[in-house]
Structure 1
Amino acid sequence: MLQFELLTQDPASHARRARLVLRHGVVQTPVFMPVGTYGTVKGVMPRSLHEMGAQIILGNTFHLWMRPGLDVLQGFGGLHGFENWHKPILTDSGGFQVWSLGEMRKISEEGVKFASPVNGDRLFLTPEVSMQIQTVLNSDIVMQFDECTPYETKGHVTTEREARASMELSLRWARRCQAEFARLQNPNALFGIVQGGMFEHLRQESLEALVAMDFPGYAVGGVSVGEPKEDMQRITAHTPHRLPAHKPRYLMGVGTPEDLVFGVQQGVDMFDCVMPTRNARNGHYFTRFGDLKIRNARHKADPRPIDETCTCHACAGSSGVPWAEGGREGFSRAYLHHLDRCGEMLGPMLATVHNLHYYLNLMAEMRAALDAGAFGEFVRRFHEDRARGV
């Protein structure tokens, strides 16, 4: 089940507002989806995700297949019941994780053979198996099994010929995914994934072939895989707005706050990235006024919060009143610096809450700006604020 309603479009860019209806709820776009690879967004209680405005989260087919296994997940009716999250879930197909195994895997027309990174068992992941796993997971959005085309391998930059072979394999796998998804009578929505490396004409061929298959939604894959930022932006500027206007568009694995704003300008509706959670665990905070690294000694005695305008629990405490408006219930940079230096688990937990709150609030601000017909002004202010520094 998927319904997509386009609400408004920015006249000066490809940015747009829409409403996405899935089996487990309504998602307002543009939206950022926190990553919960193993059935949890690391360090964050589901209640906190609700409170900070998360509408949809991710799970990963590959890792959940490894642990806890399909028999356990089936006993809970899928991933929603297992992790006690009752809003929408999107699951990655496992293609990216297989790609990241490098020499530990062998790709053929049929699928991918590899050794389990958990116990060494020999496994075979195919388009059909990916659809079967995701049907057990009962995710609202199922991703086709694809080959994630690398930018380079061992210093060798992927050639046009190699990118074409990879893209065409993903298209053949897309047809197999679609057939198996229909055979399983999965009531959720299957997205196709546009590949083609850093070559616009290959992206266009992939796009046109997938559109002809009439998927309910489409993703742009194979970006943010080690390529220079200029190439990532070039492909992001080329592909999303060429996808059907009446269907959702998802840019996979991207990215920084600037990447999100740029992506929305290009017509992207949905984003995911591990950056806000992974960086949090390394003392790297995203803020309205740039990025802050809490391990820097200059924060040792700083009484200010991470972001004086932020209403997250780390910055404003339970009052929700920002420091700049008289709120004093949050945690100081000095305290967060201390937690990080001592290796206390509360440090990365608070950092994760803050970073996700910032990302989700950034998307909410973009939605509000699009609703108000003021997206261009929002973009200008966003870049000014981020350049100001913390």
Structure 2
Amino acid sequence: MRVQVAIVGGGPAGHLLGQLLHKAGIEAIVIERHSREYVLGRIRAGVLEQGTTDLLDEAGVGARMHHEGLLHGGISLDFGGTHHRIDLHHLTGGKQVMVYGQTEVTRDLMDARAAAGLATAYEAEQVSLHDFDGERPRVRYVQHGVAHEVECDFIAGCDGYHGVSRASVPASALQTFERIYPFGWLGMLTDTPPVSHELVYTNHARGFALCSMRSHTRSRYYLQCSLDDKVENWSDQAFWDELRRRLAPDLAEQLQTGPSIEKSIAPLRSFVAEPMRFGRLFLAGDAAHIVPPTGAKGLNLAASDVGYLGRALTEFYAGNEGGINAYSDTCLRRVWKAVRFSWWFTSLMHKFPDSGGFGEKIQAAELDYLIHSQAASTALAENYVGLPL
């Protein structure tokens, strides 16, 4: 089989790139090692920057998002038992974020690809990348016991942190940067109304908490927990009790509880691999970088990567190689700004085991300055809604 672009990874990044290339008349195949159902079963974030919603519109899959998504013009930073609203809309000149689950984004992209009859290989095993340092790259895989080889002009590695794409690059060609945080997030999804109409980030002596949502009737809550904690240690009742302890009194009183749909613990890390291009292999999304979820940047960074890559490949086939040559540097400038913001916001809102009294006082001073300085609040708002693409 021959295509212009082989996309390794069938999550939101890979499918968004596939749709953008399709709109540009570029032939691509999406190769995913799991089933469609498995990919859609993964519970992920759901706060979309304006740039991401614009890309989804460009890809022709924004209709359901605009109908069902929730526009948010602010967030609440809670500490000392008090709410402090950051007015994103006012501070950024009218920008907002959209709450729309990553699962739904992926479903919309998958459905559009299937409706267009485009090539997608799910349950592709033994995926391997070859000759991407030359002019005739290839991707091999086995599907349902049958071996396949795809010849292509370019390979897009959109297969995540543990995927084969980055692992195929010689270690000598990569430089990596990493920060492991000394805690995780215990998340619970539940069919209960959100406790607030906007996201609530809480800094508490017992640890960070986040009140988020997927819709008017489905909520997603998070608690900071230790890295050695286990989901089985947390009954639904224990989760709700601990969440109440960390929330401001008025929110704790109006919190509606119910059975969990899903509970999981995620470790937090910052990770960047440089560069993001190796010959005719391009890394995008989690294959190249990971951020802690505090700043809601993971999916949005992946979208901006494939937005840059889609435009660069479109330009290439029109005779201009400038975009593909600048791809890595262009992405990394935005990536490092998002990594910085996510690190800063994580450091601001979480309880660190070794910070002591001095660290706690510094956090309190930073929070106090943040809410009383329009310049500081504006900097947070600009980063939260997304820096320009």
TM-score by length of 1: 0.25
Structure with more relative contact order (C-alpha pairs < 8 Å, separation 6 or more): 2
Higher strand share: 2
TM-score by length of 2: 0.25
